[in-house]
Amino acid sequence: MNPIYLFFHKTGSPPWFYKYSGKLIPWLWALFLALTIYGLYLGLFVAPADYQQGESVRIMYLHVPTAWMSMMIYGLMAIMGFIALVWRIRIMEVLVISSAPIGAAFTIIALITGSLWGRPTWGTYWVWDARLTSELVLLFLYFGVIALYNAFDEPRKAARAASLMSIVGAINLPIIYFSVEWWNTLHQGSSMGSDGPGIHPSMLLPLLLMATATKFYYGANLLTRARLCLLKQDHRKRWVQDLLSKESN
C-alpha cells in the first residue's frame, strides 16, 4: 500500500482518531478562551465607538465572525462530504454530521446578534436586510441537512445523504447570497452598509482575533462531537470495550 493510502487508512481508523483528537481538544479550548478574552477586551473597551452608530457597533465583534463561521462550516461540510462520498472514508462522514449542529448554532447567533445590532438604527428587530435574509436561508439549509440525516435509520446511508445535500447546498449558496443581495438593493435602494465603508484600524485587530477564536471553538467542538459519534456507533466494537474496561479500573 502506498504511504498516502496508509496514512488515510490509519487516520481513518476510529480508535486512532479517537485517541489523538482527544489529546488535541484541551489545547483548542485553551486557545479559544485566550483569543476570545483578549479579543473581547480590545473590542469592548479599547476600540472606539462608531461615529454613526455609537456603541452598538461593538456587537460587530460577535456578529461578523459568527456569520463568517456559518458560511465557512457549510463550505467545509461540502468538501468533507465530497471526500466522504467519493472515498467512503467513515471519519469524514462523522465530521460532516458533527459539523452541522455547530454551523446551525453559529448561524442562529449571527441572526440574533444581527437583529440586535440593527435594532437601535432600524427601530425594529427584523428588517429584510440582505445579510440577515441570506443567513436565514442558510439556517434553513442547515436544518435541511440535519433533518435529512435524522430521517434515515441506517447511519452510514444517512451520512452519505447529508453529504450529498451539503454539496448541492454549497453549490447554490453563493447564488443565493448574490440573488438576495441583488434583491435587497432592488427593493430598498442602496444597502445600509452597517459596518461602514472602511473599518477603523483599531477595530480590525479584535475582529480578526475573534474570527480566529471562533475557528478554534469550531475545531474543539467538532472533535468532541466526532468522538461522541464514534463511541455511539462503535459501542459493540472491541476498542470501545477495552476503553471502558481501562477507564473503569
Q: Find the shortest distance in angstroms from Cβ 208 to other proteins.
A: 18
Subset of 210-249 contacting other proteins (CB under 8 A): 217, 220-221, 224-225, 227-228, 231-241, 244-245, 247-248
Subset of 175-194 contacting other proteins (CB under 8 A): 175-176, 178-180, 182-183, 186
Distances (CA, A) of 42 to 61, 62, 113, 177: 10, 13, 19, 31
Q: Find the shortest distance in angstroms from Cβ 193 to other proteins.
A: 19
Amino acid symbol at 127: V
Residue 39, number of CB atoms within 10 A of its CB: 23
Closest residue by Cα to residue 132 from 145, 119, 120, 143: 119
Number of residues located near other proteins, criterion CB under 8 A: 78
Subset of 126-155 contacting other proteins (CB under 8 A): 137-138, 140-141, 143-144, 147-148, 151-152, 154-155
Contacting residue, 21, 66, 166, 194, with other proteins by CB under 8 A = 66
Q: Do the Cβ atoms of 106 and 185 come closer than 8 Å?
A: no
Subset of 2-31 contacting other proteins (CB under 8 A): 15
Nearer to other proteins (CB atom), residue 16 or residue 199: 16
Closest residue by Cα to residue 96 from 129, 63, 73: 73
Residue 112 is a binding residue for other proteins (CB under 8 A): yes
Distance separating alpha carbons of residues 209 and 61, to the nearest angstrom = 9
Distance separating alpha carbons of residues 57 and 48, to the nearest angstrom = 9
Nearer to other proteins (CB atom), residue 172 or residue 202: 172
